[in-house]
Every structure is written in C-alpha cells, then in structure tokens.
Amino acid sequence: MKIHKITLMITDFDNVGADGIKEVIEFQKYPNHCISPSVVNIETEEVEWSDEHPLNHKGWQTEFYRMFARNN
C-alpha cells in the first residue's frame, strides 16, 4: 500500500495512485465552489499495512513525519 503526502494524509486502500488522488481532489465538486484546490506536489511512500501499523493509531503524526523526513 502507498501513503501519499499532499500535506493531507491519504491512505490509499484502493490503489488510486498519486495521479488519481490529484484528480479526485482537483475535480471534486465542492459545495458552492467553496474551495478550488490545485495539487502542486505529491510525495509517496510504500508501507506494509496492517491494523497495527503506527499510521493506524493515535499519535500517527510521529510516524508520518518520520516517513517523510528525508524528503524535507
């Protein structure tokens, strides 16, 4: 499974992929056109997912920042 960083954390259970996630975010019809997002950058990391994975628990932010630390 892949984890994508767009400053949002998106758990990609359906393997939509970075390009697919970009499309979903950008082409979504938001109520009253309240926002108009443009995805500028996506970072992706591969993970072995399980119910015990640190991103699946309280305090997930620590693991998230550790995963993407080398990309900053």
pLDDT digits (tens, 9 = 90+) for 6-48: 877 788 888 889 889 888 888 888 888 787 888 888 899 999 9
Across the chain, where does the E strand assignment appear?
2-5, 9-11, 43-46
Tracing tokens 């620590």 back to the chain, one arrives at 62
Query: Does the predicted TM-score (pTM) go above 0.75?
Result: no
Q: Do 16 and 24 contact (CB within 8 A), yes or no?
A: yes
Q: Is the pLDDT of residue 72 over 80?
A: no
For the record, the structure tokens of 35 come out as 């926002």
For the record, the structure tokens of 61 come out as 């932010």
Q: How far apart are the first and last CA of the chain?
A: 22
Per-residue confidence band for 71, with pLDDT thresholds at 50, 70 and 90: low
Range of the structural domain that residue 61 is part of: 2-71
Of 61 and 39, the one with more pLDDT: 61
- Number of domains into which the chain is organized: 1
pLDDT of residue 45: 93
- Name the residue among 49, 52, 45 with its Cα closest to residue 70: 45
Of 4 and 8, the one with more pLDDT: 4
